[in-house]
Chains A and B, each alone.
Chain A
Amino acid sequence: MSIGMSVEHIGADIHGDRGGPAQPLLSVRGLVKHFDLKKGFLETLTGGGKVVRAVDGVDFEVLKGETLGVVGESGCGKSTTARLLMHLIDPSAGEIVFDGETVGSAALPLREYRRQVQMVFQDSYSSLNPRLTIQDSIAFGPQVHGVPRREAITRARDLLARVGLEPRRFAERWPHELSGGQRQRVNIARALASEPRLVILDEAVSALDKSVEAQVLNLLMDLKDEFGLTYLFISHDLHVVRYISDRVMVMYLGKVAETGPAEALFDDPLHPYTRALLSSMPSMDPDRRTEEAPLAGDPPNPIDPPPGCRFHTRCPFAEPVCAERVPALEERAGRQAACLIHEADAGHSRNPTAIYAA
């Protein structure tokens, strides 16, 4: 059970790179998920029925080796996106391409994709089977993919050590005997057990105490380097996202509002929504304290999203055109924003076409 040996072993599979470093690890195009609303008595009679537009046309890429942070208010579709990426729910439309291959195609069957992409959930207790020991939970994934049980258990114990849990003390324990932080470490080990290339972390540290959260974040960053992982990091906590992400994607009501490198996006947000979101961030630094009004009220109902730009009902810069025209997600200088202010010839009075023209 030499640790050195199994690093190589795990490492070998992870670098099963196909398209080279320049090709995005994950490309998402036009991803849509509409949930049918549970029909009431009247709708059953009239045959009508509404849909919740949880994810409504989302395009983004995750580059090899990066951490893409995804932020947004609750209900903006970030968790639905994660579940769509895992194929835990079927998309209504759209395409997911993993390292050049369409997921579900002959070149990349769903089962193989699910080995290469793993997920860590928010609720550390609910995501561990209470009737399995810690090592059995971790060893389950590899066994599904044909690793013999003895080997899978050995790997599980190695990984426990790697996530900072002494195998001898923890391997044969039950989930309820562990603290929340310890359980989340187990969940991370479980995700790594099938040697994935992409790990989706859906609010993975949100339920933890602040001190534990910091430890787990640092663990995640160490593991990323060690195993050459790519992260999709979903959180509502902007501080955490800023700390861990290379790039950040901001979502609003099932659409992408803005994406860009973390530093640039936090320092100079393009989208008014991003700006509003950031201004709601408490800061220790008096110079950086908020001056702009934070977001008022709740986001509109995703059953009946506003026409045009979805943010116009809460946007301080909204103009009549915003209710008519849907802004496109336009790329400029490595950043993207879906706002008419930044869209050339969109007819918004604050549109400083000159900024980009210069």
Chain B
Amino acid sequence: MIFYLLRRIVYTVPIMLGVAFFCFLLVHISPGDPLVAILPPDASVELQRQLMTLYGFDRSWPEQFFGWLWRALQGDLGTSIATGRPVADEVFRAVGNTLMLACLATLIGFLLGSLFGFVAGYFSNSWVDRAASALSVLGVSVPHYWLGMVMVIVFSAWLGWLPPTGAGPGGSDQWAWDWAHIQYMVLPAVTMSVIPMGIIARTVRALVADILAQEFVVGLKAKGMTDSGIFLHVVKNAAPTALAVMGLQLGYLLGGSILIETVFSWPGTGFLLNSAIFQRDLPLLQGTILVLAMFFVLLNLLVDTLQTAIDPRIQR
């Protein structure tokens, strides 16, 4: 198992290099000169050249890539063209907010999804099953940005229960664990949870139905095992896969939160990406994408590692 893990880690390195190279390329596939966005139209040639050197756009590609990679490894993701602040600072401030939201959403999605999936799998082919399956199809089909809007319409505009946008009273960006702040998180987190909920419900339903249909479970029943005993047995067998799916979903939410953060003006990485795109702040775009993608790759590795550790059947 140790060898499997080592191999898995070694295998991850080229993927990470490739991901880094792709992020590096992002700046180069974009049309036009990124400096144009910040330069006044009448900027002198001298000023242009200075800025070119400052951002490193005048050197050769490999030189730029490895220089960029080396600096990125040391935590230097460059300077935001729009704000003039280090990209790393901007990203790490935002990533905490996104992580908080994505974790809460994954948790809600996992709990509800497992519940629906379990009930559906336990009573497979009954009306409960069909209802839960329909719900999970709705979950994976709904445009979540639209669902966010509907949530705001219902719970803020109509019922007035929860604040529509932002991450704290008066647009504060200082997070605190009190109701004044938490209530801002409810709508985006619930909206976001719909996607993992549908997928986890599907997975758990299939797992449970599968385990219950296996001969050894029939044998356990024949031997007079109680329902709660069988329940425990099913949970034990379904948990590793369900947890792995949950981990991956967390990764997808981290990367996919941009639309929901935009709807709710949540000050996370999605919001950051949005402003990077509209101000054509390419270093910021590049840095944010790099951090999120690396997070996703590492999360995949972690999920694989944990799954190998938990599930004795996977001994590659």
Interface residues of A (CB under 8 A from B): 40-42
Contact = CB atoms under 8 A, between A and B. Distances in A.
A41 B316 CA distance: 12
Interface residues of B, number: 4
Nearest to B6: A41
Contacts of A41: 3, 6-7, 10
Contacts of B10: 41
Interface of B: 3, 6-7, 10
B10 to A, nearest CB: 8
A41 B6 CA distance: 8
6 contacts: A40-B3, A41-B3, A41-B6, A41-B7, A41-B10, A42-B3
B41 to A, nearest CB: 57
A41 B9 CA distance: 12
Closest 3 CB pairs of A and B: A41-B3, A41-B7, A41-B6
Nearest to A42: B3
A272 B137 CA distance: 67
A295 B6 CA distance: 42
A40 B7 CA distance: 9
Contacts of A40: 3
Contacts of B6: 41
Nearest to B3: A41
Contacts of A42: 3
A270 B3 CA distance: 48
Nearest to B7: A41
Nearest to B2: A41
B305 to A, nearest CB: 15
Contacts of B3: 40-42
A237 to B, nearest CB: 32
B315 to A, nearest CB: 14
A50 B6 CA distance: 21
B252 to A, nearest CB: 30
B6 to A, nearest CB: 6
A162 B240 CA distance: 57
A42 B7 CA distance: 10
A40 B2 CA distance: 12
A41 B5 CA distance: 10
Contacts of B7: 41
A277 to B, nearest CB: 37
A41 B7 CA distance: 7
A42 B3 CA distance: 8
A39 to B, nearest CB: 11
B304 to A, nearest CB: 15
Nearest to B10: A41
B12 to A, nearest CB: 14
A41 B10 CA distance: 10
B251 to A, nearest CB: 26
A76 to B, nearest CB: 30
A349 B3 CA distance: 50
A186 B6 CA distance: 49
A347 B6 CA distance: 52
A157 to B, nearest CB: 45
B7 to A, nearest CB: 5
A42 B10 CA distance: 12
Nearest to B5: A41
